[in-house]
Amino acid sequence: MSALFFKKLREKISLTTQEEEIIRRYIISKKIRKKQYLLQAGDVCKALAFVEQGALRAYSVDDKGQEHIIRFAMEGWTISDLDSFMTSEPSIYNIDALEDTEIIFIPKSAWEEVKKVVPQYELFIRLELMAAYSDMQKRITALISLTPEETYTYFVSVYPCIVQRVPQHMIASYLGLTPETLSRVRKRLFTGK
């Protein structure tokens, strides 16, 4: 149930068997059905979720009802509203499942205790957050400096797993494009016209 999580944990930090067992006592596994929320705007985010199986998205909704996707999370990725998690302020984001999903997490209420007993866990979280921050920087750079065709080509090359599992209108939202623009971009790329 948490095999992928511990595989990734072992890849990033070294833990003793005893430390792994301590972490196992704190983790919670949760199944989320397709279209079910992990977090709704207005609620406080209480976990950094690790995707064991499935796919999630984080998005906001503007005054016109338009969704703006800021992040996808597939197997082996983490997802959260970090600002809400750290400040305990209400989230402005929704996080929902794009398919039946299983996540694992350590509740915020247990974090301090886990960090005291297994200090390496904090390093793991820091490494995960740094990787997410790096991805976000690359995404912003692509959005402000590349053409729509270049942005889509970059996205496809970096995230082929998303392209195969996520509807095109959601990819368009993530790339800051309308679905119609993405359709034209894809047509030009595939036909050369």
Query: For residue 152, how many C-alpha atoms fall within 13 Å in the half-sphere facing its CB?
Result: 24
Q: Where are the domains of the chain?
A: 3-145
Q: What is the pTM assigned to this prediction?
A: 0.91
What is the residue-level pLDDT of the chain in tens, covering all 193 positions? 689 999 999 999 999 999 999 999 999 999 999 999 999 999 999 999 999 999 999 999 999 999 999 999 999 999 999 999 999 999 999 999 999 999 999 998 898 889 899 999 999 999 998 998 999 999 999 889 999 999 999 999 999 999 999 999 999 999 999 999 999 999 998 887 6
- What is 3-145's CATH number? 2.60.120.10
Tokens of 99: 């398919």
For CA atoms 72, 76, 77, 78, the dihedral sign is: positive
